[in-house]
Structure 1
Amino acid sequence: MGKKDASSVKLAVDQYRKQIRKQDYKKTKPALRATRLKAEAKRSAPGIRVRCVTINIAYTVLNLHNLLGRLGCGHDISNNT
């Protein structure tokens, strides 16, 4: 019983994809290039890069602080001699 329902949904999705493909064929090369460049610009937005760099720097500083604390390079208040 469930197979009939699943195949009809698949057909609807295939028809939708086919329709989208036809629309892409109608586009000119400059329009396709503009769409591609717009998508690339979204992925490599400067705000995202700045956030990633900031997070990496903070992570590195915290790890360095933790490492120095474990090596005994930190200041110990109890040894005031």
Structure 2
Amino acid sequence: MTNEVIFEKVQEILMDQFDLEASEVEMTTNMAEDIDADSLDLFEVLNRVEDDFDIKLEATENVATVEDLVAKIAEQVNK
């Protein structure tokens, strides 16, 4: 699975979770600073990512940006 495909799915999840437009979710988007996601929001996003991609991520994963999340997903999906 390519990073582009993963990004598109993550973008959909974040748009749904935070009521955002596609233009507001880019690879450089910072979860806390740009979309005001707190730890509970991030936990919910990680749970949805796990379900949608059928992977397991640690709750302690260092995910600050969308790019970080895409990289973590790619690492798991492409094992």
TM-score by length of structure 2 reads 0.24
Structure ranking higher on relative contact order (CA contacts 8 Å, 6+ apart):
2
- Structure number, greater radius of gyration: 1
Structure having the higher helix fraction is 1
TM-score by length of structure 1 reads 0.23
